[in-house]
């Protein structure tokens, strides 16, 4: 038996508005025995995914998943490596995607939530939290299932994506542009990000929502109005897009990061455009499509190989920096997937 020093970050207080990295979370070091029960596996966390949805998990309200408890390790989706296994399904060295939370090690029981990664050669493990993880799948199912892009897409279809330089937005915008040939307008929070969206990702237009003339620019960029709006931000951007929504337009409500830190958020003032334009706003959670993940990941891998889908990451090092990094995510400091790198992958020969 070996005692492992395990650094964990737990939820100390539920934030009412903004997260305060010093008071919302607490770091603790605990000792973990590597002695495993029947069917258990010991894993080492390599990468932790940081997601806007985490803000919702800290709220004590009815939602799609139970809130994180006070003094519980903060929940996260992670890529981890199996160090020791009592399960016939996993062996030391395997990579898994699992909900380990903000800690260095975890003992898991195989379940639907522990998915063995069939790694492509040369692909970083972090990719399975981004384009080939829940983030990419969120973009995929939002566009296909809620936006019905396979039916509506094409050169006459105008698609707007908010948070377009973020992990999910980036994937949604590229699929709409390079797989379906839509006119795609990305919205982001800095001129650098906008440059990236147009020059690197090939979107038709990118708009900085911090511009004083943002709504005017949005109007100019959407002469045929907006058929599909993939919304990650909510707030004034959602209101602007409601004002430009087309007849029978679709608003894919994926996220509302601009409102997550509000005690009571401001709702979309112009939602009655749904009536006048016979439009639809619909929310979704990627988990509902778990049975279709395989097909989606095949599609996305193909698009990566064909150069239609590029990825980008913003990586912070060390689990102790996760709280600060989460605050940065809400400030929009990241371009692409926001990750914490916790440890290096071990070569299988060493295990």
Residues that bind its own copies in the complex, under the rule CB under 8 A: 56, 62-64, 234, 239, 253-256, 259, 264-285, 288
What's the min distance (Å) between Cβ of 197 and its own copies? 24
Q: Which two structure tokens, joined as six digits, stand for 258?
A: 């601009």
**Least distance to its own copies from the beta carbon of 53, Å?**
9
Shortest distance in whole angstroms from residue 95 CB to its own copies: 29
What is the rounded distance in angstroms from the CA atom of residue 135 to the CA atom of residue 109?
A: 24
Instruction: Please identify, using beta-carbon distances, which residue of 267 and 318 lies nearer to its own copies.
Output: 267
For its own copies, the closer of residues 52 and 189 by Cβ is 52
Nearest Cα neighbor of 310 from 173, 137, 181 is 173
Nearer to its own copies, 17 or 349 (CB): 17
Q: What minimum distance in Å lies between the beta carbon of 291 and its own copies?
A: 15
Structure tokens at 25: 């979370």
Question: Is the CB of residue 24 less than 8 Å from the CB of residue 323?
Answer: yes
* Distance in angstroms (rounded) separating the CA atoms of residues 185 and 192: 15
Task: State the minimum distance, in angstroms, from the CB of residue 227 to its own copies.
Answer: 15
Please state the closest distance from residue 83 (CB atom) to its own copies, in A: 35
CB of 279 to its own copies, least distance (A): 6
Q: How far is the CB of 247 from its own copies (least distance, A)?
A: 9
C-beta of 92 vs 270, nearer to its own copies: 270
- Can you tell me the distance from the alpha carbon of 231 to that of 228, in angstroms, rounded to the nearest whole number? 9
- Residues 6+ positions from 191 with CB-CB distance below 8 Å: 208
Nearer to its own copies, 1 or 264 (CB): 264
- C-alpha distances in angstroms, 238 versus 139, 142, 214, 241, 249? 17, 16, 12, 5, 13
Buried b (16+ CB within 10 A) or exposed e, 246-259: beebbbbbbbbbbb
Of the two residues 19 and 201, which places its CB atom closer to its own copies in the complex?
19
Taking the C-alpha atoms of residue 111 and residue 84, their distance in angstroms, rounded to an integer, is 17
- Phi, psi dihedral angles at 213 (to 5 degrees): -110, 30
Query: Which C-beta is closer to its own copies: that of 210 or that of 278?
Result: 278
Phi, psi of 25 (to 5 degrees): -120, 160
Complex with its own copies: residue 19 or 254, whichever CB lies closer: 254
Q: Which residue has the tokens 């809620």?
A: 146
């Amino acid at each position: 038996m070996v005692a492992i020093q395990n650094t964990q970050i737990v939820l100390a207080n539920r934030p009412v508005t903004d997260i305060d990295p010093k008071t919302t979370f607490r770091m603790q070091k605990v000792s973990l025995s590597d002695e495993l029960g029947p069917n258990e596996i010991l894993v080492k966390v390599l990468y932790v995914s940081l997601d806007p949805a985490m803000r919702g998990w800290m709220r004590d309200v009815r939602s799609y998943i139970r809130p994180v408890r006070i003094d519980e390790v903060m929940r996260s989706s992670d890529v981890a490596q199996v160090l020791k296994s009592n399960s016939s399904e996993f062996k030391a060295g395997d990579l898994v995607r699992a909900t380990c939370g903000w800690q260095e090690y975890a003992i898991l029981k195989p379940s639907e939530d522990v998915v063995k990664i069939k790694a492509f050669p040369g692909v970083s493990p972090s990719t399975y939290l981004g384009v080939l993880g829940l983030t990419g799948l969120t973009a995929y199912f939002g566009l296909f299932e809620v936006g019905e892009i396979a039916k509506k897409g094409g050169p006459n279809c105008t698609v707007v994506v908010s948070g377009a330089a973020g992990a999910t937005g980036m994937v949604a915008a590229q699929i709409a542009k390079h797989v379906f040939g839509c006119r795609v307008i990305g919205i982001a929070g800095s001129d650098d990000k906008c440059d990236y969206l147009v020059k690197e990702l090939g979107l038709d237009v990118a708009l900085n929502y911090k511009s004083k003339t943002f709504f005017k620019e949005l109007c100019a960029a959407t002469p045929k109005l907006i058929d599909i709006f993939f919304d990650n931000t909510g707030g004034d951007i959602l209101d602007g897009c409601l004002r430009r929504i087309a007849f029978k337009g679709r608003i894919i409500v994926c996220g509302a990061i601009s409102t997550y830190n509000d005690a009571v958020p401001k709702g979309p003032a112009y939602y009655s455009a749904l009536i006048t334009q016979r439009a639809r706003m619909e929310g979704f959670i990627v988990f509902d499509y778990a049975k279709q993940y395989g097909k989606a990941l095949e599609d996305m891998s193909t698009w990566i190989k064909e150069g239609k889908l590029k990825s980008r990451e913003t990586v912070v090092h060390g689990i102790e920096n996760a709280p600060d990094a989460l605050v940065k995510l809400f400030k929009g400091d990241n371009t692409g997937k926001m990750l914490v790198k916790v440890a290096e992958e071990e070569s299988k020969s060493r295990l």
